[in-house]
Amino acid sequence: MEPLVLLFALPLLYLLVKIWKHFDAKRDQQCYILDYQCFKPTDDRMLGTELCRDLMMRSKNLGLEEFKFLLKAVVNSGIGEQTYGPGVVFSATEHRPSLLDAISEMEEFFQDSLQKLFDKSGVSPSEIDILVVNISLMTTSPSFASRIINRYKMREDVKVFNLTGMGCSASLISVDLVRRMFKSYKDSYAIVVTSESLTPNWYSGNERSMILANCLFRTGGAAVLLTNKRSLKNKAMFKLKCLVRTHHGALDESFGCCVQKEDDQGNLGIYLGKNLPKAATRAFTDNLREISPNILPITEIFRLALLTILHKITSAGSSKLRRPKPAANFRAGAEHFCLHTGGKAVIDGVGKSLSLTEYDLEPARMTLHRFGNTSASSLWYVLAYMEAKKRLRKGERVLMISFGAGFKCNSCLWEVVRDLGDANVWGDCIDSYPPESLANPFLEKYGWIQQEDIATFKLPE
């Protein structure tokens, strides 16, 4: 009898051990944020109203109609007077930037944010196992990733990735890359470095579809330290729950709505097409459809399914009465919403689609006002605002949503591991936010341009 029991017990024990190992290995594949640091340039790099005026005035390619367009764009952008620009704007060399200028812009960010991240976390550069750098609009040889490795003397076996051309959604693509790497490498540290190179892409021409980028994009960046070390899970700030990427590059209309190119006069810049909102909406809708089952509770999914069935029944055969389709309540799946600061219209559009309140949209609006659109790093400024306002409590969830050229929409859900309250780059101004008014002084100071006649208009000396 005993040999018979042993005969059945051994395979069962083996099976149980294999199952335990499988689930135990899953625990080592988690992705946690240990710390992150946003970049704030020095105050002498602020693009105030008068400096922006001077910048417009010294462009020989702009006429009255372009000035009127810029005035309207700046006033409606949601950007304030304390955003930061690249150094070439302040040295009046934006129309002829050098390679050294572009590299210096990135190295200024690297040296500041990475050093602060290492100091805050206590993790040394030699402990980093994976490094992912994303700078969409510029690449050098050696790469920016290699420049970081050289400066901080990282190990020779560090796994390094240098991403370009991924647009404003690049930081979530980088996080996804780290998440996938963590499945193969246990007990690892990873750093995501995300920024954008404005120096060689500051547009000096007069095409409206390319001038607009100058009104939105600003200097910034962020460095994020991630790990899958089980021993550090209680020291982490956030735990990644899910991440979904949507890419509509196969659609010509979506592919061409946001492009780096030269105009007819050879001026390099970023083209933003009129069909961009449509492309963003399409990608956003598809992305939400995929991530919804992963973040919404079963009760909300059931409610939405029931309402959808009722909507189809009541709408059948009725072409006159068009009732709105039922929408999911995403507030049931997340307490906080970290939205890409692509512009006031982008924030308004996403807020309307998700039925968000002004409280939900405040972090994105304030980030746009204070720092502008810092491309792929903007999400981390929004997250830092939430933390500085002490909104983030243990167990709460943060839904991140970003858009990028391609056209792409990426989103992910983070769980707050512990109560958070560090001020990051908001330390010197968080008490003054939100301000009483987000009105831009451009209209007050330069509204007279709207009444000018093109036949008699002359630039003021």
- By annotation, the residues acting in catalysis are 168, 247, 336, 340, 369, 373
**Distance between CA 364 and CA 371 in Å, rounded?**
10
Q: Is the dihedral of CA 364, 369, 374, 375 positive or negative?
A: positive
* Backbone torsion region of residue 242, taken as left when φ is above 0, otherwise alpha when ψ lies between -120 and 50, otherwise beta: beta
For 389, phi and psi rounded to 5 degrees? -85, 5
DSSP string, 328-388: --GGGT-SEEEE--S-HHHHHHHHHHTT--HHHHHHHHHHHHHH-B-GGGHHHHHHHHHHH
- Joined together, the tokens standing for residue 385 give 């605002």
Dist CA 352 CA 83 (whole Å) = 26
Mark 316-326 as b/e (b = at least 16 C-beta within 10 Å): eeeeeeeeeee
Q: How far apart are CA 103 and CA 90, in angstroms?
A: 16
Q: What residue ranges in 153-273 does DSSP mark as E strands?
A: 159-163, 189-195, 221-227, 238-247, 258-262, 268-272
